[in-house]
Amino acid sequence: MPTQKLTVAEIQSLYEKHAPALAAYACCCGLDFASAEDVVQQVFVKFLRPGDPAPRSPLAYAYRSVRNASMNLRRDRRHEIELPESETWLVRTSGKPEEALALQQVLRELPPEQQETVFLRIWSGMTLQEIADATATPLNTVASRYRYALEKLRVLLK
Amino acid sequence: MINNHDPLERYLSEFQPRPVRKLVVPPQPVTPWLRRLAAAAVLVLATGISVWLANHRNTSAPKIAIAQPQSTAPVPPFKELGALALSKLAIENSSAFDSYLLNQSRYVLPNPQGEQSTLRILVAQ
């Protein structure tokens, strides 16, 4: 359901807070970091278009848009040769870069809904209720997705 | 970012997404009300120019003198009189006879092909 249009300042604030997590999410969907940045930029520039109404939950909309754009881009580039995964889109102040690469690899193995839930919960800092509201999904479903995602990550990270 | 007791969540939150470049805000397009205002201004300007041009043409165009047909005296209907009547008219009223001849000359053209036509006589002389 569209709501009142966001101002440029609000969009910039939303970008500064969530763009890194969104770019990481795009990388998780299979893009290289530069393309992920481009996709996130495009999604936020779309918010600024005068004709388009603002989505009910801009953040959930941004995650869905990033996912769709990433999938489309990957489909368009399916004939290109993929380089081996060596780029990190998650960073850790203490620890080895290999750990980040391992976590990235594991996150990619989650279904898109579980990936989205983990990103919104861990790196966008939303509560499960906020995720449920943002994604228009029942709270129980969101909680299940998150629980399944953590279980899978726990097994894969062992 | 989150504060919970699950070791896995704590582990995940130790990682941070890589920073991204700043959002490049494209220049905002002209607002719709400004566009409407510009369209109205153009319309008013175009109408004004066309009205001014129309008036200017009317005032500066040279007036064409239309030749009015000169009023002529009403020509009385021609009534042909016989030789006897003409002779009588010439004797009794010479002015009426003159006006009759003048009137007749308006209707009867000289015949140059006749035996006694004026042109033949003039040529012969």
Q: How far apart are CA B14 and CA A103, in angstroms?
A: 11
Helix (H) or strand (E) holding A38: helix A33-47
**Are both A10 and A77 inside the same structural domain?**
yes
**Are both A13 and A73 inside the same structural domain?**
yes
Q: Residue A91: inside a domain, yes or no?
A: no
Q: Residue A40: inside a domain, yes or no?
A: yes
Residues of A with CB under 8 A from a CB of B: 8, 11-12, 15-16, 19-21, 23-24, 33, 37, 40-41, 44-45, 48, 50, 88-95, 100, 103, 118, 121-125, 150, 153-154, 157
Count the domains in chain A: 2
DSSP chain B: ----S-HHHHHHHTEEEPP-PPP-PPPPPPPHHHHHHHHHHHHHHHHHHHHHHHHHHHHHSPPPPP-PPPP-PPPPPP----HHHHHHHHHH-HHHHHHHHHHHHHH----TTSTT-HHHHHHH-
Q: How far apart are CA B32 and CA A62, in angstroms?
A: 26
**Which of A53, A82, A111 is the endpoint of a domain?**
A82
Mean pLDDT of B82-86: 84
CATH number of the domain that residue A127 is part of:
1.10.10.10
**Are both A74 and A151 inside the same structural domain?**
no
**Are both A101 and A32 inside the same structural domain?**
no
Q: Residue A88: inside a domain, yes or no?
A: no
Q: Residue A148: inside a domain, yes or no?
A: yes
**Which of A29, A47, A82 is the endpoint of a domain?**
A82
Q: Report chain B's C-alpha Rg in angstroms.
A: 52
**Which of A82, A117, A150 is the endpoint of a domain?**
A82
Flag whether residue B1 sits within 8 Å of chain A, measured between CB atoms: yes
Across the interface, whether the CB atoms of B26 and A48 are under 8 A apart is answered: yes
Q: What percent of chain A has pLDDT over 90?
A: 33
CATH number of the domain that residue A17 is part of:
1.10.1740
- This prediction has a pTM of 0.59
Structure confidence at residue A82 (pLDDT): 64
Mean residue pLDDT across chain B? 77
Contact criterion met (CB below 8 Å) for B78 and B104: yes
Flag whether the ipTM exceeds 0.90. Answer: no
| CA-closest candidate to residue A92, choices A84, A81, A100 | A100
Q: pLDDT tens-digit profile of A10-48?
A: 888 999 999 999 999 898 888 889 999 999 999 998 888
| Residues contacting residue B2 through CB under 8 Å, at least 6 positions apart | A121, A122, A125, B9, B13
Task: Output the CA–CA distances (angstroms, integers) from residue A22 to A33, A83, A142, B40, in the order listed.
Answer: 11, 22, 19, 44
| Residues contacting residue A105 through CB under 8 Å, at least 6 positions apart | A85
Flag whether residue B27 sits within 8 Å of chain A, measured between CB atoms: no
Task: Output the CA–CA distances (angstroms, integers) from residue B46 to A26, B36, B41, B59, in the order listed.
Answer: 53, 15, 9, 20
**Are both A78 and A100 inside the same structural domain?**
no
| Residues contacting residue A74 through CB under 8 Å, at least 6 positions apart | A29, A30, A31
**Are both A74 and A7 inside the same structural domain?**
yes
The CB-side HSE value for A120 (13 A sphere, CA atoms) comes to 29
Mean pLDDT of A119-146: 90
Q: Residue A57: inside a domain, yes or no?
A: yes
CB-closest option in B20, B23, B29 to A12: B23
**Are both A115 and A153 inside the same structural domain?**
yes
Structure confidence at residue A38 (pLDDT): 93
CA A67 to chain centre: 7
Structure confidence at residue B29 (pLDDT): 65
**Are both A23 and A73 inside the same structural domain?**
yes
Q: pLDDT tens-digit profile of B2-35?
A: 445 588 998 898 899 999 999 887 776 667 778 8
Amino acid at A56: R
Q: What percent of chain B has pLDDT over 90?
A: 11
What is the DSSP-derived secondary structure letter of residue A32?
-
Distance from CA of A118 to the nearest CA of B (A): 10
Q: Which residue has the tokens 């066309």?
A: B50
**Are both A3 and A64 inside the same structural domain?**
yes
Contact criterion met (CB below 8 Å) for A40 and A23: yes
- Domain hosting A29: range is 1-82
Q: Residue A17: inside a domain, yes or no?
A: yes
Contact criterion met (CB below 8 Å) for A25 and A89: no
Q: Residue A132: inside a domain, yes or no?
A: yes
**Are both A53 and A100 inside the same structural domain?**
no
